[in-house]
Amino acid sequence: MITYTEALDYIYDLTKYGIKLGLKNINYLLYLLGEPHKKLKIIHVAGTNGKGSTCSLISSILQSDGYKVGLYTSPHLVDFTERIKINNKSIDRGKVCELLERIKPSIKKVANTPSYGHPTFFEVITSMAFLYFCEEQIDFLVLEVGLGGRLDATNVCEPLISAITHIDYDHMDKLGNSLEEIAREKGGIIKSEGIVISSKQYEEVYNEIKKIADEKNS
């Protein structure tokens, strides 16, 4: 078994593959891992401001009703394990090592398959989190989007609820130069005939979210 330091070295080395928005790689990686994300009841949260605090609040409310709740957020403040929690308890460092060792063969398979790129830092830890939460048999997962929404690795899920916090100018180099464009990307977490909850938004943002929801009959 690798040490926690070795596990982090491997994980952070993945940052050299950059940020690749899109679901092709992570869909294949999760397929190789048995599609754990499809076995989870998920509340998916996107937005610009208040994502993390909204996720924590939802998690606390569900816990107060006696549910076993997974929480996936980013970035961490002090230790990597803060990103993956169950009932406010961070994943054990030894578990991080174990999970990483188990998924390494699948990571290599994706990387060596023609037309796929090497899984990125965020794709790997998101897959690790899905596998962990599935095996721990949680009742609900509160899942924070990493960047944007539509093409974010977390958007492989089919959530019970898609929640969108306040949207403002954010990551304009990747999401667009206007509020409408940014709202379109973040509103990409809305699923067909799904439940959507939004905080108060600028008029142009609200109109874009409503348009997406109407198109998807959500």
Each residue's pLDDT tens digit, 165-204: 999 997 777 787 799 999 999 999 999 999 999 999 999 9
34-53 core/surface letters (b: 16 or more CB in 10 A; e: else): eebbeebebbbbbbbeebbe
Confidence of residue 34 (pLDDT cuts 50, 70, 90): very high
Could you tell me whether strands 69-72 and 84-86 are parallel, antiparallel, or unpaired per DSSP bridges? Answer: antiparallel
Q: Which domain holds residue 160?
A: 4-216
Each residue's pLDDT tens digit, 45-96: 999 989 999 999 999 999 999 999 999 999 999 999 999 999 999 999 999 9
Name which of 39, 67, 52 is nearest 132 in CA terms: 39
Q: How many CB atoms lie within 10 A of CB 33?
A: 19
Each residue's pLDDT tens digit, 9-29: 999 999 999 988 899 999 999
Residue 35 has pLDDT above 80, yes or no: yes
- Number of compact structural domains in the chain: 1
Which amino acid belongs to residue 55? C
CA–CA dist 210, 218 (Å, integer) = 9
Give the CATH number, domain containing residue 39. Answer: 3.40.1190.10
CA–CA dist 105, 124 (Å, integer) = 12
